[in-house]
């Protein structure tokens, strides 16, 4: 009979252990999510800095800033030249806001 009286106590210990393990898992997941978010936000300013290094000042006759996303600067320049040619407009009369590769 002592085995049957000890079962509820063992069940309580197992449930407590499971609750502590689940809580620890939630805390670990929260820490990992925060680290990934911080890593993404830290990488974004570096990408903008690279674009600003390539084009630090506006050229005469330019129409403002251009944001390039996932495209090489050479490819972006080629796309702008093609658009200007197709529209038969000088490049300095066109305003490009953003160039982004569509996947």
For the chain, the domains span 1-54, 57-103
> Could you report the per-residue pLDDT of 46-97, keeping only the tens digit for each?
555 555 555 555 556 666 678 888 888 899 899 999 998 999 988 888 888 8
Provide the pLDDT for residue 1: 45
90 burial via Cβ count (<10 Å: 0-12, 13-18, 19+) = exposed
C-beta separation of 66 from 76 below 8 A: yes
C-beta separation of 102 from 70 below 8 A: no
Q: Distance between CA 69 and CA 33 in Å, rounded? A: 24
Length in residues, the chain: 103
């Amino acid at each position: 009979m002592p085995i049957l009286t000890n079962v509820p106590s063992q069940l309580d210990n197992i449930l407590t252990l499971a609750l502590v393990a689940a809580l620890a898992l939630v805390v670990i997941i929260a820490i990992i999510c925060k680290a990934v978010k911080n890593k993404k936000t830290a990488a974004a300013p570096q990408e903008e800095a690279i674009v600003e290094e390539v084009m630090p000042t506006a050229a005469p006759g330019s129409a403002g800033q251009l944001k390039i996303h996932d495209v090489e600067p050479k490819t972006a320049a080629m796309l702008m030249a093609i658009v200007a040619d197709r529209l038969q407009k000088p490049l300095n009369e066109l305003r490009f806001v953003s160039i982004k590769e569509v996947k």
